Amino acid sequence: MVLSDLGRRINSAVNDLTRSSTLDEKAFEEMIKEICNALISADVNIKLVSTLRNSIKKTVNFKELPPAANKKRLIQKAVFDELVRLVDPHAEPFKPKKGKSNVIMFVGLQGAGKTTSCTKLARWYQARGFKACLVCADTFRAGAFDQLKQNATKAKIPYYGSLTQTDPVVVAREGVEQFRKERFEIIIVDTSGRHRQEQDLFDEMVQIQAAVKPDQTIMVLDATIGQQAESQAQAFKDAADFGAIIITKTDGAAAGGGAISAVAATHTPIVFIGTGEHMLDMERFAPQSFVSKLLG
């Protein structure tokens, strides 16, 4: 089920209820049930769905509603607020400072969209007046440096990488040192992924983190991986303690509920969402407007 379907289902559950002539408790319970079913089919963790169900019930408190209350508005607002709560961990993401070298390190599994998102983010900051650059510390995947080089060249972003150095820690350290000296303000370090979560990858991440001392570590999560997203994010969090998430491929046929659950499980804010393969296909993530858009 794609995200827009989820929104449509939730919306129609609320509308059916608020339009029905008998807006009684039974109909209210039916609406909540339909919303919860929609969230579960979108891969949102069952525990989260159950918390949301209880919170909506508690907030609306149907039995105690005075007869004159605007039930429709109350119910719509409760559903909206709870959905916002689901995607908002109430943690402030890092804000880079002008005139200083801000190092941002990317982590995530191979194919999640790290290299693509690195360039998108560098371009995003560049367009906002930051001096941005890219470091390719992915020495694991053949072709990774070429891919970053091509993207960076297209976006006119300076880059650093090596075709001969096989130690990603050395490349990361040298690249960041060079760009710090050159007073770049946003230094984005792309790291390698693996097909699976494995110890080698986590060890490498920890070593690169120690070498470049990032101001922020961002985990890139593929929206299409469904329920695995939560455990994957948790494992990365335990190893690399990232402070922000970028969810990619939200334009695809994915519900994204797994990714939403990952946010809740790791109490980490989503900062951007990837909406396509091109350089400009990235949007800033804001819980309120995300839910507004979701509900159309």
Residues in contact with ligand GDP by the rule CB under 6 A: 108, 110-116, 193, 248-249, 251-252, 274-277, 281
Q: Where are the alpha helices (DSSP H) in 95-197?
A: 114-127, 144-154, 168-181
Closest to ligand GDP by CB, 13 vs 282, is 282
Minimum Å distance from CB 260 to ligand GDP?
A: 16
- Select 51 or 275, whichever has its Cβ closest to ligand GDP: 275
Cα(27)–Cα(212) distance, rounded to whole angstroms? 56
CA distances from 271 to 62, 100, 165, 221 (A): 36, 21, 32, 12
User: In the complex, what is the shortest distance from the CB of residue 157 to ligand GDP, in angstroms, rounded to a whole number?
Assistant: 15
Give the nearest distance from C-beta 118 to ligand GDP in angstroms.
8
- Which residue's Cβ has the minimum distance to ligand GDP? 274
- Residue 149 near residue 175 (C-beta atoms within 8 A): no
User: Smaller CB distance to ligand GDP: residue 9 or 249?
Assistant: 249
- Burial of 139 from C-beta contacts in 10 A (0-12 / 13-18 / 19+): buried
Given the complex with ligand GDP, which of 35 and 109 has the nearer CB atom? 109
Tell me the CA end-to-end span of the chain in Å, nearest whole number: 16
Closest separation in Å from C-beta 120 to ligand GDP: 8
**Alpha carbon distance 186, 125 (integer Å):** 7
**CB 210 to ligand GDP: min, Å:** 22
Q: Half-sphere exposure of 53 toward its Cβ, with a 13 Å CA cutoff?
A: 19
Which residues on adjacent β-strands are paired with residue 159?
Answer: 134
Of 125 and 145, the one with the shorter C-beta distance to ligand GDP is 145
- Collapsing DSSP to helix, strand or coil, 32 comes out as helix
Question: 89 vs 193, which CB is nearer to ligand GDP?
Answer: 193
In this complex, which beta carbon is closest to ligand GDP, that of residue 36 or of residue 269? 269
CB of 106 to ligand GDP, least distance (A): 8
Cα gap 211→172, rounded to integer Å: 7
Question: What's the rounded Cα separation, in Å, for the pair 140 and 93?
Answer: 29
Report whether 244 contacts 93 (CB < 8 A). yes
Nearest distance from C-beta of residue 193 to ligand GDP, angstroms = 5
